[in-house]
Structure 1
């Protein structure tokens, strides 16, 4: 259900390279949530780093919404760059697994598979 890879790059470099890879693969970055800084700003002692990138391919999103508008709640896709005991990791929930839990429509499964292929390319590019 999850795809998680380790990066040999720094947290900052992995985040920067993810942003670029998203755009090279026809997706856009809608927003970046810096959860680590947000938690620390609320007085929580959180030692790790965590950024969640909300990413979207407009064509794929429009196909999903045309089939079932309720799936807007599963959009956009999210890719996280985070540290775990000092190791930089990058990962996402696999779109095919997530959407299969919400719908059995074969057309959605096909779209989710296409998005999942793109997400794998994005993540692999970011850690190269």
Structure 2
């Protein structure tokens, strides 16, 4: 699977707040939060589901992977989405390991695996809060 997605009973606002706290523990920061619903409605389009994309980064990890292969920058920053789906809040991300396989570099694959496990841990901790 290319993604990791979980559901929570928390509201979107609660899920994001909890996620931000767990990300900070792993030294990831939210660089930007893109509200797709708001942007589409701003353009006159009807999109009813709440859908937010968080671009997250750990500068130390970004430096490590970029030193191994500059093409990895095409996948940065990491994305985590929080959205409403049939009354449930979902949190998910594309798996860094799925993307990094395209680069074909064993050291980068190891780094991506570590980052993926840490981000999954952050997501899992956020749904338990």
- For Structure 1 versus Structure 2, the TM-score category normalised by the shorter chain is over 0.9
Question: Runs (4+) of structure 1 moved beyond 2 Å?
Answer: none
1:21 aligns with 2:22: yes
Indicate the residue corresponding to 1:121 in structure 2. 121
3-state SS of paired residue (2:117): helix
Per-residue CA deviations over 1:22-69 (Å, capped at 9, x if unaligned) read: 112211111111111111111111110011110111111101111111
TM-score by length of 1: 0.95
Name stretches of at least 5 consecutive residues in structure 2 with no aligned partner.
none
Compute the displacement of 1:80 (Å).
0.4
| Count of paired positions | 127
CA RMSD of aligned residues (A): 0.9
In 2, the alpha carbon distance for the partners of 1:65 and 1:99 equals 12
3-state SS of paired residue (2:31): strand
Preserved CA contact (<8 Å) 1:29 1:54: yes
1:38 aligns with 2:45: no
Name stretches of at least 5 consecutive residues in structure 1 with no aligned partner.
none
Compute the displacement of 1:70 (Å).
2.0
Indicate the residue corresponding to 2:104 in structure 1. 104
